Structure 1
Amino acid sequence: MSKLFIGFVPIYIVRALGPTLMEFTSGLSWNTDDAALRRKFEEFGTVEEAAVVIDKETGRSRGFGFVRFSCDDEATAAMNEMNDAEFDGRRIHVDKATDRRSAGGSRSGGYGGY
C-alpha cells in the first residue's frame, strides 16, 4: 500500500477486483457528489460506477472517491487528462486503484471504508 498526502487529504492507492479498471480520485471538493463525479468522468467513456466516499459519522464527503470504467483505454484516457486537473474548484489526483486488502496491515480493509 502506498500512502501520500496532498494538503490534508491522504491518498491511498487501492486496486479494484474484476476486469475493468477502477480509478482512485482524491482532492475532491466537499460539495462533489456521486452524480457530479460520474458526469465529469463520462466525458472519457462509459462509467460503470462512480462513488464519493462519505464519512459514516458526519455524513460528509471524505474528499475522495472511485470511478469504474467499462474499458481500460477509457480509464487510462481519463486518468491522463484528469490527474492534477481542476474539477469542481479543486485540483484533483487520479490514479489506478489498487487493492489495499492484499497489501496486508490494513485495519479498515478494502476501499478506504467504501
Structure 2
Amino acid sequence: METIFSLLVALFFTGGIYLMLSRHLIRILLGVVLFSNAVNLLIFTNGRLTHAVPPIISPDLMTPAGPVANPLPQALILTAIVISFSFFSFLLVVAYRAYQDLGTDDTEEMRVAEPANEAPPPMGY
C-alpha cells in the first residue's frame, strides 16, 4: 500500500512541476496546488499506513500495550491543508488582479518592466 502512495506522490510532484513550468498563470496555480497535495501525501505516507489504535495509555500501564497510531503526521497535514488553501486563495486573487490590469494570463506578455520596443541594456561595465 505504501508503494502505491509513493508512486502517487511521485506522480503528483511530476505533474506539479510540469504545470509550474507553464507560461499561463492558471496552470502555474494548479501546479502549486498539486505540489502542496504531493507534500501532504508524502507526510501522510511517512507517518506509516497501518491500522492502529489511538495513542491512549491506560492509567495502570507505563507504555502502550500494543502498536499505536502516530497523531503528528495527521496534525501536520491538517495544518498544511489550511495553509495551502489560504495560500492558493491569495495567489488566485493576485492572478485575477494581474489579469484585470494586464488583460492576459501569459507570463511572457506580462513583462511590463521589459518593454518590447526598447534596445537591450548594455552588457558590460
TM range (shorter): under 0.3
Which structure is higher in strand share? 1
TM-score calculated relative to the size of structure 1: 0.22
**Rg larger in structure:** 2
Task: Return the TM-score normalized by structure 2.
Answer: 0.20
Task: Decide which structure has greater helix share.
Answer: 2
